[in-house]
Amino acid sequence: MKKTILLAVFALASITAFAQSGSGFGIKAGLNYNKNGDLIRSATDAGENIIEGSDGKVGYHVGVFGKLDFPKIYLRPELIYTKTKSSYELDGNSNDYDIAKLDLPVLIGYKIIGPLHIFAGPAFQYTLSNDLGDLKVEDVKDDFTVGLHLGAGVNLGKIGLDVRYERGFSENEANFIGNNVTDISGRVDSRPSQIIFGLSLNL
């Protein structure tokens, strides 16, 4: 919890600094379609593990951003609360894997023509919680990870629309077991792979 508070304070201070010295500050929200990494189930009656891929589901995000404008490029740090969902089929049952995290993307954008722009940058992520349906799941191995955001957007006055792709750089697994311990067990990769649709408002 202390790490979460420190990360949030640092991010907000950075965004405020950009807003004071630069050209903008605002809020944003949107939907994300996410698929986490593979679930690897330990097989008790076979010589090898069973790998299950995830099915994507819709989640959401809300946050704030600051923007520092230059003639053709801009710098935009964001602080975002993100809720992702994906689903795994285990023994005929569907188990949703829900993750709540704080994201801090630091984006560098390029203005192509008119309101159209593209952007990319690292996204620093802190996992707040993870839940795997009816199974007992441990916390992820690494609370703090790094990924990449890559996308394009359009600005219409104070309103901004963008679509981006996020990918985690490395596996970040969590172990799980069935409620009866002897049911099933294994590990699941919480690394995100998601398409994000965002709506922002300059204040």
What CA–CA distance (Å, rounded) separates 31 from 138? 26
Task: Kindly tell me if the per-residue pLDDT of 130 is higher than 70.
Answer: yes
Burial of 203: CB neighbours in 10 Å, binned 0-12, 13-18, 19+: exposed
Given a contact cutoff of 8 angstroms between Cβ atoms, the answer to whether 140 and 180 are in contact is: no
Q: Which residue has the higher pLDDT, 35 or 107?
A: 107
What CA–CA distance (Å, rounded) separates 121 from 164? 11
Domain around 161: 2-202
Task: Kindly tell me if the per-residue pLDDT of 187 is higher than 90.
Answer: no
The CA–CA distances, whole Å, from 182 to 82, 135, 178 equal 33, 12, 7
Q: Is the pTM above the cut of 0.85?
A: no
CATH (domain of 162): 2.40.160.20
Domain count, the chain: 1
pLDDT bucket at 43, cuts 50 / 70 / 90: low
Cα distance from N-terminal residue to C-terminal residue, the chain: 30
pLDDT of residue 141: 87
User: Half-sphere exposure (CA, 13 Å, Cβ side) for 151?
Assistant: 23
pLDDT bucket at 21, cuts 50 / 70 / 90: very low
